[in-house]
Structure 1
Amino acid sequence: MKITVTGATGHLGRHVIAALLEQVPAERVAAVVRSREKAADLAARGVEVRVADYDEPATLADAFRAGERVLFVSGNAVGRRVPQHRAVVDAAAAARVGLLAYTGILGGPKADFLLADEHKATEQLVLDSGVPYAFLRNGWYHEVHTDQLAAVLGHGAVLGSAGAGRIAAASRADYAAAAAAVLTGEGHEGRAYELSGDTAWSLPEYAAEVARQSGAQVGYRDLPPAEHRRVLLGAGLPEAMADVLVDVDAAVSRGLLAGTSGELSRLIGRPTTPLAEAVAAGLAAAPAEGPATRQP
C-alpha cells in the first residue's frame, strides 16, 4: 500500500515526504506534483512522481490508487480553493482511496474567520464523498512570520493588527510529522485533530525575541485594521489576500489561534518547536532583503 502526498514539492509537502522517508521505504511513497522537474530530487530517491494540477480535474484521474492513504495538502490559491478541492475529493473518491487526510485549519467548523471558510467547505466535501477521512486542522506556522525576517529587520518593526492576541504556532516540520504519523499509523479514520503548538505567543513577544537574537532594534507596531490593510496593499498584495491577513489578525485578537490542545505534540511524540528555535532558524536563513508581507 502506497502513501500519496499531494502538493509534494510545496513548503509543507516536502517536509511530509521527508518525514515519511524516515519511516517507510521510498517505493511506498508517491508524490503528486504540478511539475515533474521540481520533483526530480524525489524521483532520484525512489519516490513515484505523479503529475496533476488542482485546476485541471482531468489530470487528477490518475493521481490516486485504490486503497492508498492520501495526504491532501490544501491549495494556496485563496478564493479558488473550493472548486480545486472538489476536484481532488472527487478523484480520491473515484479511486476508492483507503484514507484521505486533509490539512484544514484550527477550529474546523467553529473557526469564524475568512481563511477558514474554504477549509470548512472542503471538510464538508470530504464528508459528503463518503471517503474514509482524517482531518488535520493545522494551526499557524511559525514560518508565516519567520520567513519575513529580512523585511522585519529592514524596517525595524513587526507590523500587524492583532494587539496582544496569542498564536499557538508550530513549525511546518511539526505539522508534517503529525501528518506522517497519521498516514503510517492506525486508528485515525474518522478523527479530527486540532493541531497547534505547545505554547502560544503574541506578536509583541515575537518582536522581542527577534530583537534579542538579532541584536537589532525591533518592536511591534499595532496598526488599526484599515491601516494594516493599506500597508499590505502598498506592499503589493492582492486585495483578497490583504483582507484575509487583516481578518486573521482580528481572529488572533479574539483568541481563535491560541488554543493549546496538546494533540500535535502527542501525535509526534515530542514537544513542538519553540518560538526561540524558529526565530533562530529564520534569522539563519534570512536573505539580505525580502518581501514585507506574510502569507499563510
Structure 2
Amino acid sequence: MVKGNLSVTPEFLLLGLSEVPEHQPFLFCLFLTMYLVAIVGNLLIVLAISATSTLHTPMYFLIASPSCVDVCFTSVTVPKMLLNMHAQSQSISYGRCLAQMYFLILFLELDNVLLALMAYDRFLAICHPLHYTTTMSPKFCIMSVSVALIVTNVYPLVHTLLMSTLSFCASVRIHHIFCELYALLKLSCSDTHTSELVVYTMGSLLFVCPFLFLSLSYVRIFSAIQRLRSSQGKLKAFSTCSSHLAVVSLFYGTLFGLYLRPSSSYTAEDSAATVLYALVAPMLNPFIYSLRNKDMKGALRHLLSWRKGWSW
C-alpha cells in the first residue's frame, strides 16, 4: 500500500480563510449573513418574476435562471463551511469533497453559459428587434437552458473521474473554503498532467467559448448603439445592458485571475479571492438586477407588499 493513498487518508481538511480560533466567530457570522442575503435575494428575484405575469418574457426567464443557479452554488459550499466553523472541525470526507467539486464546476459552467445566453438575448433585442419575438420564443429559452444543463455536466464528470484515479500525499490540508479543483490537483502526489490538459482543452470549449460569444454579442451591441442618432436612445439602449454587464464583470473578473494559469502557481492567498465568486457575486447579483430595472423593482414591491398583507 502506497503511503498517502486515499485508503490511508480518507478525508481532507478544509482550512478556510483562517486557522486562528479567535477569528472563527466573526467569520461564521459574516459568512452566515452573506449566505442568507444571497439565498433570500435570489429567491425573491425568482418569486417576483414567477408571480408577475408581465415579467414572463425571455429576458426575465434568463434572469431567473442564474438566480436559481446561484442558490444551488452557494448551498453546495457555504453550509458545510459554516458547519465546520460551528463544530470546530475542518474535515470533509473524500466522497463529499469530490461531490462538492463536481457541483461547483457544474454550477460555474452553467452560470457561464447562461450569461452568454443573456448577452444573445440583449443582442437580438437591440440589433434585430423585429426578429426578437420569433427567435427568443419560450420553447427556444427552455430548450437552450435544458441543453446547457446537460452539456455542462460533462466537464465536471470527466474531472471527477480523473480525480478519483489520483493518489494524495500525506498532506491533505486544503487552504481553501471548499474542495476546489486546482487545490486538489496541487495536493496530489500522482502525475496530474492529464488532468491539467483536460482543464485547458475542455475548459476552452465550455468556458472560454461562451465568453467569446458573449464578447462578440456586445461588440455588435455597442456598434449598433453608436449608430443611433439620439443620445436619449443610446442611453436607453445601454441601460438595458448595464445590469448584465455589471454581473459579467464581477463573474469573469474573479474567475479569469484564478483559473487561466497552471495549478502549480496556485497559492493559499487565492482562497480569499474565491469568496468573491462563491459568496459576494451571488449576494450582489439580485441587487444589481433589481436596482437597475424599474419593472423588477415594481414586482419586488408588489411581492413584498402581498406577503406583508398575507395572514392565516
TM-score (norm 2): 0.26
Q: Which has the higher helix share?
A: 2
TM-score (norm 1): 0.27
- Indicate the structure (1 or 2) with the bigger Cα radius of gyration: 2
Q: Which has the higher strand share?
A: 1
Name which structure has the greater RCO, CA cutoff 8 Å, separation 6+.
2
